[in-house]
């Protein structure tokens, strides 16, 4: 699945805003001043006193030194090192903005997990656990108001069940049509098939703090002992491809360096024997039964890998299906003793979204991190020009291939579907569908996705179903254009960098109101970001407390205990 021309245009836009020479500012320490507890979020805000959040210095290793409110409608981000992907990152939904008072009232948890207060075109009316989420149009939205008064999110794990609901007209739009049903949708005059073009990756992971996965020969043997082409041929839609690298080739520098190992069961078995396992060993394969662009048939693929491991390497693997929330928490924390199937869909069009998230020093997912990978990625992430950074990404990709923290399996093609009567239907490349612009011809539009959200405090979620719901309600400083993925203004009208990309001054949109009626200002930005990135903030609680995107995309949480 290639999208070279589009993504190169998008990357060119990021490069244009990345012009290079000034030193990092020295800010005041930690969060200042302490915020008073509000009596009610709908009351007028108290007199504006600029807040800031900072690290004592840059020795903690992260990218952000300070975030400060300059005035009511200006925020300054001071970085420890350049970040050419800054604009692409701040447009990602986990970096959304909620009222300072609402965050403080809930202590970073509580009602915040189910009742986000945002500035988006829809607001939450109710979350009926196990059944649906009801959104109502935000009549005070700063932009163009939503077409439909009511938006309903429902969910069903099986693709066939979602399609049946669509065919019966009880829903208007569904995610992830099963590959076997493409022809059925295309031949139905009442339906429209919507191809999705978001770069993604399915990988088979292992955690090197568990035996025998602490032995690189075992990991290499598994890499060579799986026929990935057979998996793609049997379980993926047309347009899918075997992964030559972890990052799809449509992302600049994604496919530089050596291609992944060819299927070679004889060499794989010899390596396993060298590691002391001539007859294989026993382990588990964990997965969650949720349809994804990168994994359309989770159970079938898990069983296929189980079969191949037994036939090719003598490895006996028990297949274990887990509840999605538990699976995400345990896998990303590096607590699964065995193999597991997980994947990734692009959040923003930059290679850092794939490599830096998964292989950073801070990520415990694959066990002990590899300096040969993360040190190279840290250096590469500071270079704006993809051509200049290419040599470092060759080095990083080759190190991933040699050390095998996981096995990249496939880049999946996928499609959504909608009723033919829905107008302005869209499948954005780097965000959830924008239902506010869709017109179902009714007062209500009903969407059916793969699973129920885990929580709606998306500063501390990485699950796609959670993020999709959050995007209808919450907004970051910027957003991604529906058609191109280009970064466009949202709660900020501009962010201007200094010469060496170590400082970004963002001008905020005036006159914006939150769903509770309170006014949006710079302190809301500081409070929202501090709750995520500042480990010493009393509101740094969330659902899991991991705040993965804040940690991994900005190279670590500030003020974390050693």
Q: CATH code at 239? A: 3.10.105.10
Q: Are 75 and 526 in contact (CB under 8 A)?
A: yes
Report the alpha-carbon distance of residue 58 to residue 210 in Å, rounded. Answer: 33
The answer as to whether 176 is a domain residue is: no
* Strands across the sheet containing 316-322: 241-242, 406-411, 200-206, 339-345, 282-288, 316-322
Q: What pLDDT score was predicted for residue 348?
A: 81
Q: What pLDDT score was predicted for residue 219?
A: 98
The DSSP secondary-structure symbol of 335 reads -
Q: Are 102 and 117 in contact (CB under 8 A)?
A: yes
Token pair, residue 184, equals 């059925």
- Same domain flag for 90 and 237: no
Round the CA-based radius of gyration of the chain to a whole number and report it.
23
- Same domain flag for 253 and 392: yes
Q: What pLDDT score was predicted for residue 123?
A: 98
pTM of the model: 0.77
The answer as to whether 149 is a domain residue is: no
Report the alpha-carbon distance of residue 3 to residue 196 in Å, rounded. Answer: 11
Spatial CB neighbours of 536, under 8 Å, sequence gap ≥ 6: 30, 31, 558, 559, 560
Q: Which of 389, 411, 433 is the last residue of a domain?
A: 411
Q: Which residues of 13-51 are buried (b: 16+ CB within 10 A; e: fewer)?
A: bbeebbeeeeebbebeebbbeebeebeebeeebeeeebb
Q: What pLDDT score was predicted for residue 44?
A: 59
Q: Are 500 and 446 in contact (CB under 8 A)?
A: no
- Same domain flag for 403 and 517: no
The answer as to whether 378 is a domain residue is: yes
- Same domain flag for 385 and 505: no
The answer as to whether 330 is a domain residue is: yes
What kind and span of H or E run contains 524?
A: helix 522-533
Query: Of the candidates 416, 395, 403, which has an alpha carbon nearest to the alpha carbon of residue 194?
Result: 416
The answer as to whether 438 is a domain residue is: no
- CA 455 remoteness from chain centre: 15
| 416: helix, strand or coil | strand
Sign of CA dihedral 162, 128, 111, 444: positive
| 488: helix, strand or coil | strand
DSSP string, 202-228: EEEEE-TTSTTTTSHHHHHHHHHSS-H
What residues make up the domain containing 25? 13-112+488-553
Spatial CB neighbours of 132, under 8 Å, sequence gap ≥ 6: 152, 153, 154
| 191: helix, strand or coil | strand
Q: Which of 355, 389, 411 is the last residue of a domain?
A: 411
Q: What pLDDT score was predicted for residue 417?
A: 98
Phi, psi (5° rounding) for residue 502? -105, 0
- Same domain flag for 96 and 236: no
Q: Which of 411, 432, 451 is the last residue of a domain?
A: 411
- Same domain flag for 271 and 393: yes
- Same domain flag for 383 and 507: no
Sign of CA dihedral 448, 453, 457, 460: negative
The answer as to whether 471 is a domain residue is: no
**Residues 227/228/233/236 CA torsion (nearest 10 deg):** 150
Query: Of the candidates 483, 533, 461, 444, which has an alpha carbon nearest to the alpha carbon of residue 148?
Result: 444
- What domain count does the chain have? 2
Q: What is the mean pLDDT of each run of 10 residues along the chain (562 residues)?
A: 34 36 35 39 70 96 96 98 92 97 97 97 97 98 98 95 97 93 96 92 97 98 98 92 96 96 98 97 96 89 98 98 92 95 88 92 93 95 91 98 98 95 94 96 97 96 94 97 92 95 97 98 98 98 93 91 78
Report the alpha-carbon distance of residue 345 to residue 198 in Å, rounded. Answer: 6
- Same domain flag for 107 and 248: no
- Same domain flag for 400 and 501: no
The answer as to whether 195 is a domain residue is: no
Give Cα separations from 34 to 31, 150, 284, 388, 412 (angstroms): 7, 38, 48, 44, 48
The answer as to whether 191 is a domain residue is: no
């Amino acid at each position: 699945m290639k999208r070279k021309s589009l993504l190169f245009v998008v990357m060119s836009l990021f490069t244009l805003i990345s012009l290079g020479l000034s030193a990092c500012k020295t800010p005041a320490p930690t969060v200042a001043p302490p915020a008073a507890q509000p009596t009610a979020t709908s009351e007028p805000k108290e007199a504006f006193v600029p807040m800031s959040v900072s690290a004592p210095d840059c020795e903690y290793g992260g990218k952000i030194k300070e975030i400060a409110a300059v005035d009511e409608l200006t925020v300054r981000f001071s970085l420890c090192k350049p970040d050419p992907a800054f604009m692409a990152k701040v447009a990602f939904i986990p970096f959304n903005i909620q009222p300072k008072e609402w965050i403080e009232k809930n202590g970073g948890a509580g009602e915040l997990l189910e009742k986000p207060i945002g500035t988006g075109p829809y607001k939450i009316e109710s979350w009926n656990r196990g059944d649906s989420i009801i959104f109502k149009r935000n009549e005070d939205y700063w932009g163009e108001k939503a077409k439909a008064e009511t938006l309903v999110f429902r969910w069903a794990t099986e693709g066939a069940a979602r399609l049946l609901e669509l065919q019966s007209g009880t829903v208007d739009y569904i995610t992830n049509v099963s590959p076997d049903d493409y022809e059925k949708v295309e031949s139905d005059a009442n339906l429209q098939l919507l191809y999705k073009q978001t770069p993604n990756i399915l990988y088979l992971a292992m955690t090197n703090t568990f035996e025998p996965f602490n032995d690189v020969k075992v990991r290499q043997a598994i890499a060579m002992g799986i026929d990935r082409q057979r998996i793609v041929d049997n379980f993926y839609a047309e347009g899918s491809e075997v992964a030559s690298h972890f990052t799809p080739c449509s992302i600049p520098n994604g496919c530089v360096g050596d291609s992944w190992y060819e299927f070679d069961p004889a060499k794989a078995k010899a390596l396993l024997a060298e590691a002391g396992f001539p007859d294989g060993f026993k382990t588990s394969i964990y997965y969650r039964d949720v349809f994804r662009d990168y994994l359309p048939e989770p159970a079938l693929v898990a069983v296929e890998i189980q079969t191949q491991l037994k036939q090719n390497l003598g490895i006996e693997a028990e297949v274990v299906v887990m509840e999605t929330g538990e699976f995400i928490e345990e896998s990303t924390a590096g607590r699964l003793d065995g193999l597991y199937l997980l994947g990734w869909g692009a959040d923003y069009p930059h290679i850092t979204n794939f490599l830096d998230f998964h292989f950073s020093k801070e990520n415990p997912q694959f066990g002990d991190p590899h300096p040969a990978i993360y040190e190279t990625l840290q250096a590469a992430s500071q270079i704006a020009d993809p051509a200049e950074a290419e040599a470092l990404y060759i080095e990083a990709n080759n190190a991933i291939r040699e050390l095998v923290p996981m096995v990249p399996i496939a880049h999946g093609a996928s499609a959504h579907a909608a009723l033919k009567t829905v107008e302005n239907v869209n499948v954005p490349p780097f965000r959830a569908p924008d239902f506010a612009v869709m017109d179902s011809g009714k007062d209500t539009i009903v969407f059916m996705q793969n699973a129920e959200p885990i929580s709606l405090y998306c500063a501390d979620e990485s699950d796609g179903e959670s993020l999709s719901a959050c995007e209808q309600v919450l907004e970051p400083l910027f957003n991604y254009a529906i058609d191109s993925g280009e970064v466009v203004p949202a709660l900020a009208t501009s962010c201007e960098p200094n010469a060496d990309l170590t400082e970004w001054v963002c001008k905020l949109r005036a006159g914006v109101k939150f769903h509770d009626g309170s006014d949006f200002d710079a302190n809301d930005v500081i409070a929202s970001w501090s709750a995520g990135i500042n480990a010493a903030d009393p509101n740094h609680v969330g659902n899991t407390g991991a705040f993965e995107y804040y940690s991994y995309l900005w190279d670590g949480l500030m003020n974390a205990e050693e």
